[in-house]
């Protein structure tokens, strides 16, 4: 996974329980398309950027369809959770386009800005296999996590820790009972998290 911003170096992963929660919701909403396919959820919180990758790996294939979303977030506003919600919905929209069109889609292979849910998001598509990438790094002795943690100030370290703590706190409070209404504030919880009838997805093309 490569971040969009050049300034994005140090990162912290989404809390495991939060990633598991996101994966469970994707599996529920895309059950009819998954069959024996595997979903891989990877999320990172950088100093000023939230990045989410939803990988879709069909059985017997090495090529993994990755739907990647990036958004800016503000440490001052502490809006990391809202931005993750937006990323989840955007990745779901990409994946729905992909499965409904049997992979015949025209997604950008480099970061492209698109409007979504009244916000500015960035999307890209690639076919990197997360497992093979991790194995290759291990064989090369590359510890990606240690590499991205260089030259980070104590202030940046604290900001990432606070963002992760806020995500974990809101996860415990919500406990998958995400609900939304289109007349609510401009940053609703993920629409696909509601478990209700699906709403018309935004067009990411």
Is the pLDDT at 126 greater than 60? The verdict is yes
The band of 132, judged by pLDDT with boundaries at 50, 70 and 90, is confident
Asked if 50 and 80 touch (Cβ cutoff 8 Å), the reply is: yes
What confidence score (pLDDT) does residue 145 get? Answer: 53
**pTM higher than 0.85 for the full model?**
no
What confidence score (pLDDT) does residue 75 get? Answer: 79
What confidence score (pLDDT) does residue 1 get? Answer: 85
Q: Rounded mean pLDDT of 28-43?
A: 93
* Domains of the chain by residue range: 11-191
- In what helix (H) or strand (E) does residue 86 lie, and over which residues does it extend? helix 80-100
In terms of DSSP bridges, do strands 119-126 and 49-57 run parallel, antiparallel, or are they unpaired?
A: unpaired
DSSP labels, 104-145: -----SS-EEEEETTEEEEEEEE---HHHHHHHHHHTT--HH
Q: Rounded mean pLDDT of 131-136?
A: 80
Asked if 84 and 50 touch (Cβ cutoff 8 Å), the reply is: yes
For 43-99, write each residue's pLDDT tens digit.
Answer: 999 989 999 999 999 998 999 999 999 999 887 887 888 899 999 999 999 999 999
For 142-195, write each residue's pLDDT tens digit.
Answer: 655 544 444 444 555 555 555 556 555 555 555 444 333 444 444 444 565 443
How many residues are listed for the chain in this entry? 205
More confident residue, 127 or 138: 127
Which own/partner contact pairs does 194-197 have at CB distance under 8 Å and 24+ positions apart?
195/28
Asked if 53 and 1 touch (Cβ cutoff 8 Å), the reply is: yes
Is the pLDDT at 10 greater than 80? The verdict is yes
């Amino acid at each position: 996974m490569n971040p969009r911003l050049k300034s994005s170096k140090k990162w912290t992963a989404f809390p495991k329980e939060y990633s598991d929660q996101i994966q469970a919701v994707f599996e529920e909403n895309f059950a009819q398309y998954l069959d024996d396919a595997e979903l891989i959820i990877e999320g990172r919180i950088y100093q000023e950027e939230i990045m989410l990758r939803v990988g879709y790996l069909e059985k017997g294939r090495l090529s993994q369809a990755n739907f990647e979303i990036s958004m800016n977030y503000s440490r001052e506003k502490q809006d990391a959770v809202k931005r993750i919600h937006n990323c989840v919905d955007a990745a779901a929209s990409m994946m729905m386009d992909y499965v409904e069109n049997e992979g015949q889609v025209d997604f950008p292979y480099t970061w492209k800005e698109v409007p979504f849910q009244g916000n500015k998001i960035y999307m890209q598509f690639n076919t990197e296999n997360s497992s093979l990438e991790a194995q290759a790094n291990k064989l090369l002795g590359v510890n990606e996590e240690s590499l991205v943690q260089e030259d980070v100030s104590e202030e940046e370290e604290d900001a990432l820790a606070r963002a992760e703590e806020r995500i974990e706190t809101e996860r415990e409070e919500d406990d998958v009972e995400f609900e939304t209404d289109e007349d609510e504030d401009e940053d609703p919880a993920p629409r696909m998290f509601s478990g209700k009838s699906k709403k018309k997805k935004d067009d990411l093309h």
